[in-house]
Structure 1
């Protein structure tokens, strides 16, 4: 008789794990409350506006660096925090 009384304790482990997994899945996924954008939203297309203006031109691959970069001057890019001795 003592074997039958402890059997429910073994069954509660997998059942509890399954219930916890399902509860967390439903809580974080909440698929029944989510908005189906593709089906429920009507998007009307508008004509493309704007213009293409040429700004600058670089020919060839002779320039290996961008003018004005500060890669080598890291001390000018990074400022050290100073603590007051007050």
Structure 2
């Protein structure tokens, strides 16, 4: 009799873990409450509008670096916290 009474305790572990996993999955995934955008939303396609206006042109650039950069001035880039 005592062997059978402890058997439910062994089955409660995996059953409880499965129930907890399923509850957390349902809580965080919200698969029953999520909005199915592809099926519930209608989007009217329209032709693309705009223009191809040229804004700026840079040609003949020979500089290998940007003027005013502070790559080698690491003491000015990184300040020490004197707390």
Q: Tell me the TM-score normalised to structure 2 length.
A: 0.76
Could you tell me how far apart the structure 1 residues matched to 2:76 and 2:53 are?
A: 36
Whole-angstrom CA distance in 2 between matches of 1:38 and 1:26: 21
Q: Number of aligned pairs?
A: 82
- Within 1, Cα distance between the matches of 2:11 and 2:43? 52
Show the counterpart of 1:72.
72
Structure 1 unpaired stretches of 5+: none
Give 1:51 deviation, angstroms: 4.4
RMSD: 2.3
Pick which of 74-83 and 17-26 moved more.
74-83
Tell me the TM-score normalised to structure 1 length. 0.74
Where do 5+ consecutive residues of structure 2 fail to align? Answer: none
